[in-house]
Structure 1
Amino acid sequence: MTDRSPGKLSLYLQLIRWNRPAGWLLLLWPTLSALWIAAHGFPGWQLLTVFTLGTFLMRSAGCCVNDVADRDFDRHVKRTAQRPVTSGALSSKEALAVGAVLALLAFGLVLTTNTVTVAWSFAALAVTLVYPFAKRYVSMPQAVLGVAFSFGIPMAFSAVQSRVPLLAWVLVLGNLFWVLAYDTEYAMVDRDDDLLIGMKTSAITLGRFDVIGVLSFYLVFLVIWAVALMDYVQPAIYSVAIAVAALQALWHGVLIRKRERGDCFKAFRLNHWLGFTVFAGVALSYLVA
């Protein structure tokens, strides 16, 4: 009888969510926006390559750590029960080894920038390692994820300017609310399972105010980024991008209003287009200028 079990490479690709690029694109678009703003336009191929590959590698490493930390919880959640570590197809040691290799590769990329960015990379790694465990103790762990998913912004500024100005932290604050929005949609998918196993999520904390909460998070994100960047971009182009992003956010509200798993997951997956829209507004502003 032919062995139809997946090979190691296939399992490693499943582990890092190779077939779900929306996850790392959510980190990429705000990072690239920050790069363009810090450089007042195209940042150059070297930094573009470093931050694009680095984003993919660190998100993949984060998946490895997350799956090991959540392996006992994930087996009780319909969506995650068949993940390689949870199902036993990969051991925790294997998953952590893969994560360590990916993190080291990402660090190698950071070493090509400057000492300020290298220093910030350690803080980014620390938050990445803390997040999986926040779901046990923090009522809205999505806020911790928001910090982890926003670290590309100060690192982009430091790579270009060798410093992290106040603008970068304002953008981090705004981006945190975007993460709260889309990861609450994600948490709405698993809410019933999470309630049974005692996991803490923003979807559970917000309760019946989850939909209005998500829309409020989108609004705060877009307002902060619109106001913070209006003096740095071409207003007409950027205003159109913000308006298109707002329409996408409203569409997400329509999708999640009935709180059905499939629609909530669809809303989550569509978020990378919202992030791309904001980035496009930034990039086109500098291109026209």
Structure 2
Amino acid sequence: MRLTQLRSFHAVAKTGSFTKAAAHLHVSQPTITTQVRFLEESYSVELFHRSGKRVKLTQFGEQLLQLAQQIFTLEADAVSLLKDSGELRSGELRVAAVGPYHVTKMLADFNLHYPDIKVSVSTGNSRDVLDRLLDYRADVGVLAQLVQDDRFLSVPFSKQPVAIFASSAHPFAKRRSIKLRELQDERMVVREQGSTTRKALELALQSAGVKPKVVMEIGSREVIREAVLEGVGIAAVSTVEFVPGPGLHLIAISDAKIFTYAHLLCLRERRGARMVSAFFDAIQSTKKPARAPAA
């Protein structure tokens, strides 16, 4: 049985006439007659009682009509789903990111353009993000560094200044900015090796010949924050990641341009996919320049 044959039967049953069914489907009446007769002869059933130009469903025809209605209702739903997905009125965007800070603004911007699209976010390290893209478990990724891999397309989204934060008891807390050389011999709590914030600051310190005193190396932003509050030392932070709170002060570095970056990426082969393309376009259309803390 072909769908066109069932469609002809359904049209005749709904209109009550072979002639009307042909007009409804924009085909000739002999075509409708042939399609229906094929069903009846192929399965040795009678679908209609015929009386002149009038037709009436048999009991078996009534049963088949119920199934045909379900089939064509599902077909209409499928068409609607495909159409809505193409116009981005439904569907899901899967985002993989190295952390919540950079991606939050992106998701807010995307939601403004496509409020009916569901967005799911997974977080992990850089390798996790790339693996999710390669395995098609994520549509787009957000990393803090540029990826040197031809399989991926990566574009810069934003750059954020690196600043220093200290507890209220620290002398820096009374100031809005410091110079890089003032970090000489300062007790510092730093992130683990591989941290983009740490790397950016270390390159600037090395270039300036400045050596702070590293007293702790911690792999958690939250634990570093607590260590600073307790007066263990000061710490560096990308301004987008700084969480203000009682007892903490953010201090700009006035004489050095130190930044961390956010990069938006996807598999190069998927850049033309409707959802991926919409995300890139929405984010880039609302991208704003980074702002430094007041100096």
Query: Which bracket does the TM-score occupy, shorter chain normalised?
Result: under 0.3
* The structure with more strand, counted as a fraction of residues: 2
Instruction: Give the structure-1-normalised TM-score.
Output: 0.22
Instruction: Give the structure-2-normalised TM-score.
Output: 0.22
Kindly name which structure, 1 or 2, has the bigger radius of gyration based on alpha carbons.
Answer: 2
* The structure with more helix, counted as a fraction of residues: 1
